[in-house]
Amino acid sequence: MAKQMIDTPNLDELEKGPWPSFVTGFKRLAKENDMMVDLMGQLETSYQHMKGYWKGGTVGVFGYGGGIIPRFTELKDENHKPLFPEAAEFHTLRIMPPAGMHYTSNLLREMCDAWMETGGSGMIAFHGQSGDIMLQGCKTEDVQKAFDRFNDMGFDLGGAGPALRTSMSCVGAARCEMSCFDEAKALRIVINNNIDDMHRPSLPYKFKFKFSGCPNDCVNAIQRSDMATIGTWRDNIRVNEAQVQDYYKAHGMSDLVNDVISKCPTKAITLVAADKVVASDTVSVAKLGDGNALCIDNKNCVRCMHCLNVIPGGLLPGNDKGVTILVGGKSVLKIGATMGTVVIPFMKMESDEDFEKLNELSRNIIDFFAENALEHERTGEMIERIGLANFLEGLDIPVDPNMISQPRANPYFRGDDWDEQVEKWNEHKQSAA
Ligand code: SF4
């Protein structure tokens, strides 16, 4: 017999308005699961008192040091009995999703069944901020059972605590024409190589890898990861003239000028007379069929993706594809939110050797972080403290002018050893040639 629903006037407010509400979902689950009835009671109390009533603890599964987020209620009566006993233990299992987050519908059904049959609350977040499949609401006694069931299906725990965290790659080449490298492969290689740091937390703080196939950066790698690998290209934007003309026919000159040409941040796109321009090593041209042509000066393109997004299929990433690597993105913490800083402006990512280089770099960056970061300090904060130049030197990465867009305004670089840096850069270019 299901528990009687608790009055939740504050939560009910969240069902008003045009958007679907999580409260409606909770109520649906609560019809069949007493844990959700008590969870709503606890949450309603929090809304009334404007205070959270969860505390952490230590809960895990055999062989793993992380991956479970323990939550115990603090709402107790005078005899220390929980006010909402069914939700007194409400732990979360972080499960690592497949690269690119591809599932079959059968697998999704199987996951839902497994969660309900092993004592779960029924609540699943696809996917949490770190990319995990979050199975939320499990009692201590059921944690091992639930994990074993998911493990039998081929899933592994993700990261929690001061550890390598669950990774994310965008949907990528499987469904997106902008993809510039095999994101899923890169994710699997890097994560499999560093899995020990995910399951046995031993780092100063959390560390995240994320992989986006193009500069649209659909997994927000630049803001949300300590090491972001983002696809890019270094030759000309490719043009499919017929599709550019289709866009032009459907939208007209006004949209082309206002939505494409004038939105280019570096004014790399211009409208010219078709007979006055030819495509070259650095210039892409799309004739519009009315005597005009769209002309892209690729040397000035900063790969912002705007024109490619507005004319999908008509303008596409170039053929010489690879990745840019950035480090130090993170949320607020000690020094405010930071975006990743470029440390490798361009690197090919096609052959097995290329992927191995990425793998090696990722391990070196984790090792450097493990040895040099202070407790509770993210990579971005460590770099801010020790200086980017020292970080690059520690990793033996040559300083490259392409790392920064405004060298004179960038506080990371000092001018007093500039000549020396220029010499180093010239040597690096010669050895790379
Ligand atoms: Fe301009 Fe390049 Fe952005 Fe296109 S991708 S709008 S050419 S900067």
What pLDDT shows up at residue 421?
75
CA of 294 to the centre of ligand 1 (A): 12
> How large is the average pLDDT for residues 122-129?
89
**DSSP secondary structure code for residue 284 in this structure:** E
What pLDDT shows up at residue 396?
92
Q: What is the spatial distance between Cα 199 and Cα 216, in angstroms, rounded to a whole number?
A: 31
> How large is the average pLDDT for residues 102-123?
96
Q: What is the spatial distance between Cα 246 and Cα 251, in angstroms, rounded to a whole number?
A: 9
Q: Is 266 in the pocket of ligand 1 (CB under 6 A)?
A: yes
Q: What is the spatial distance between Cα 237 and Cα 48, in angstroms, rounded to a whole number?
A: 56
Q: 296-321 pLDDT, tens per residue?
A: 999 999 999 999 999 999 999 999 99
Report CA torsion sign: 96, 101, 105, 106: negative
**DSSP secondary structure code for residue 166 in this structure:** P
> How large is the average pLDDT for residues 269-286?
94
> How large is the average pLDDT for residues 370-378?
96
- Average the pLDDT over each of 32-41, 50-59, 128-137 and give the range with the smallest value: 128-137
Backbone angles phi, psi at 376, to 5 degrees: 65, 35
Given a cut of 60, whether residue 408 has pLDDT beyond it is no
Q: Which residues pair with 125 in a beta bridge?
A: 134
Per the CB < 8 A criterion, the answer to whether 347 and 358 are in contact is yes
Q: 45-96 pLDDT, tens per residue?
A: 999 999 999 999 999 999 999 999 999 999 999 999 999 999 999 999 999 9
User: Would you place residue 116 in the very low, low, confident or very high pLDDT band (cuts 50, 70, 90)?
Assistant: very high
Q: Which residues pair with 273 in a beta bridge?
A: 292
What pLDDT shows up at residue 412?
56
CA of 7 to the centre of ligand 1 (A): 54
**DSSP secondary structure code for residue 99 in this structure:** G
Q: What is the spatial distance between Cα 113 and Cα 108, in angstroms, rounded to a whole number?
A: 9
What pLDDT shows up at residue 177?
94
Q: Is 269 in the pocket of ligand 1 (CB under 6 A)?
A: yes
What pLDDT shows up at residue 425?
79
Atom of ligand 1 nearest to the CA of 269: 7
Per the CB < 8 A criterion, the answer to whether 300 and 196 are in contact is no
Q: Is 265 in the pocket of ligand 1 (CB under 6 A)?
A: yes
Q: Going from the N-terminus, what domains does the chain have, and what CATH number goes with each?
A: 9-152 (3.30.70.2500), 168-233+322-432 (3.30.413.10), 238-316 (3.30.70.20)
* 3-class secondary-structure state, position 285: strand
What pLDDT shows up at residue 95?
96
By CB neighbour count within 10 A (0-12 exposed, 13-18 middle, 19+ buried), where does 200 fall?
Answer: middle
Q: Is 302 in the pocket of ligand 1 (CB under 6 A)?
A: yes
> How large is the average pLDDT for residues 389-403?
87
Given a cut of 70, whether residue 409 has pLDDT beyond it is no
User: Would you place residue 398 in the very low, low, confident or very high pLDDT band (cuts 50, 70, 90)?
Assistant: confident
Q: What is the spatial distance between Cα 336 and Cα 346, in angstroms, rounded to a whole number?
A: 27
**Rounded percentage of the chain residues whose pLDDT exceeds 90:** 86
Q: What is the DSSP string of 349-413?
A: --SHHHHHHHHHHHHHHHHHHHHHPPTT--HHHHHHHH-HHHHHHHTT----GGG-S-GGG-TT-
What pLDDT shows up at residue 413?
57
**DSSP secondary structure code for residue 347 in this structure:** E
CA angle 80, 82, 84 (to 5 degrees): 165
CA of 269 to the centre of ligand 1 (A): 7
Q: Which residues pair with 168 in a beta bridge?
A: 210
Among 274, 217, 216, residue whose Cα is nearest residue 244? 274
pTM: 0.89
Q: 207-255 pLDDT, tens per residue?
A: 999 999 999 999 999 999 999 999 999 999 999 999 999 999 999 999 9
> How large is the average pLDDT for residues 275-293?
94
- Average the pLDDT over each of 34-38, 83-87, 224-228, 409-413 and give the range with the smallest value: 409-413
> How large is the average pLDDT for residues 185-205?
95
As a whole number of Å, the CA-based R_g of the chain is 26
Mean per-residue pLDDT over the chain, rounded: 93
CA of 405 to the centre of ligand 1 (A): 15
**DSSP secondary structure code for residue 165 in this structure:** P
CA of 211 to the centre of ligand 1 (A): 21
What pLDDT shows up at residue 44?
98
Instruction: Give me the half-sphere count of Cα atoms (radius 13 Å) on the Cβ side of residue 255.
Output: 12
Name, in order, each residue with C-beta under 8 angstroms of 213's C-beta and a sequence gap of 6 or more: 169, 170, 172, 173, 176, 178, 179, 180, 181, 183, 231
Name, in order, each residue with C-beta under 8 angstroms of 381's C-beta and a sequence gap of 6 or more: 330, 333, 334, 335, 338, 373
Closest residue by CA, ligand 1 atom 4: 307
User: Would you place residue 426 in the very low, low, confident or very high pLDDT band (cuts 50, 70, 90)?
Assistant: confident
Per the CB < 8 A criterion, the answer to whether 193 and 154 are in contact is no
